[in-house]
Each structure stands twice: as C-alpha cells, then as structure tokens.
Amino acid sequence: MLTMLEILQRGGVHQVGDLAARLGVDERTVRRYVLHLLDLDVPVQSLRGRHGGYVIAPGYRVPPLMLTDDEALATVLGLVTRTSTEAVEAASAAGSALAKLRRVLPKQPARTPGRPPRGDRDHRRRAARSRARRRGAAPGSPRRRSTGTWST
C-alpha cells in the first residue's frame, strides 16, 4: 500500500491494470489499497473513462515522520547494528536509511536517555520548595508533622 502511495505521489493518472502490474497484485487488491488510503484521509481521486485511473490530489504529501527522542535513538541504533551485521544488499539499504535520518536529526540529542529533561527537574525542584514554604519548613529539612487533634 505504501508503494502504491509513492507511485501516486509521483503524479499523473495511473490505471488500475498498470498499478496492479507494478505492485505485483491483482486489480481487486489495488482497489482495496485505494479504500485503505481513503480511510487514512489520503485524497485519492478516481477518474472515469477510457483514460481514467487513480490520481492523488495536487499538492498532497504524506506528513513528515514524527519520532520521540527515544524512538529516534532506537531507530538509529537498529540501523547501525543492521549495517554492521547483514548482507551487502540489506546493509546498503540500512545505510541509506541511516544517512537520511542523520540529515534530519539534530547534531546533539535533546537529553540524555534515561534522565528526565532539565525542565522537568527544575519544575520538581520548584514544587518541592513551594511545598516546604507552605509547611513552614526550610527546603530539604525533615518534614514536620502536626501532633494536634481535632475536637468537635
């Protein structure tokens, strides 16, 4: 299905038979792929007639891939491992994917894996000071407990 999306994004009208031949599937599967793409809000249009087929709405592009820091790190580590342990064909594909990822990733990671971001630590520190002030204790001092009782 993703291969079909790439073909459609190249532009032009693509007939069902041609798409089926390029994808190595039957025409019914191509129609199912179109329905899947429509379910994913991809604007695939069908054109009727002798020269009809499928076309994607002009200007449509797949949204960029969004990864968290941990997901990006896991992806890069997986690709690095794969390029060093696989056959030449797989290593070249993994190397190509790794090069693309390196072009879009920041030069330095936003944070150290396993440690909360600096902003989170600062927020926790401020919250602890605020709680200590409300209790009337100095920050970092042992917690005071009230020994008073309630009477009605």
Extents of the domains making up the chain: 2-56, 69-104
Per-residue pLDDT at 97:
78
Q: Which amino acid is at 35?
A: L
Query: What are the angstrom distances between the C-alpha of 24 and each of 4, 36, 43?
Result: 11, 18, 23
Per-residue pLDDT at 20:
92
Which parts of the chain fold into alpha helices (H)? 2-9, 16-23, 27-39, 69-85, 88-104, 118-135
Q: Which residues pair with 14 in a beta bridge?
A: 54
CA 20, chain centre distance (Å): 29
What are the residue ranges in the chain where pLDDT is below 50? Answer: 148, 151-152
The highest-level CATH class for domain 2-56 is mainly alpha
Nearest CA to 56 out of 3, 2, 12 is that of 12
Instruction: Please say whether the beta carbons of 82 and 94 come within 8 A.
Output: yes
Per-residue pLDDT at 152:
45
Residues 129-147: pLDDT tens digits?
A: 777 777 765 555 555 555 5
C-alpha to C-alpha distance for 36 and 10, rounded to whole angstroms? 19
Query: What are the angstrom distances between the C-alpha of 152 and each of 57, 148, 149?
Result: 74, 13, 10
Per-residue pLDDT at 151:
47
